[in-house]
């Protein structure tokens, strides 16, 4: 089981978290952040992808229960 969490649209002048910043803030657990037309796996603060997607903005994420 996974639970979905939305990241609200940021206020003017603010930006969404990136994959890299999200991973730094989520050091424990398994997450599947949603970026533009793509999913990334973050496990215990390390992101796993076929390319460096650390700069992409996170729109929402699934968290392993």
What are 12-35's pLDDT values in tens digits? 999 999 999 999 999 999 999 999
Pairing mode, strands 46-48 and 38-39: unpaired
Burial class (CB within 10 angstroms; exposed 0-12, middle 13-18, buried 19+) of 45: middle
Instruction: List, as one string, the DSSP characters of 19-51.
Output: HHHHHHH--SSEEEEEETTEE-EEETTEEE-SS
**Percentage of the chain surpassing pLDDT 70?**
100
43 strand-pairing partners? 30, 46
Estimate to the nearest angstrom the gap between the alpha carbon of 5 and the chain centroid. 10
């Amino acid at each position: 089981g996974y639970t979905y969490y939305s990241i609200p649209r940021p206020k003017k002048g603010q930006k969404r978290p990136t994959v890299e910043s999200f991973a730094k803030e989520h050091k424990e657990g398994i997450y599947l952040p949603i970026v533009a037309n793509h999913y990334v796996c973050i496990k215990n603060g390390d992101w796993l992808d076929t390319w460096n997607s650390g700069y992409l903005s996170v729109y929402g994420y699934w968290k392993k229960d």
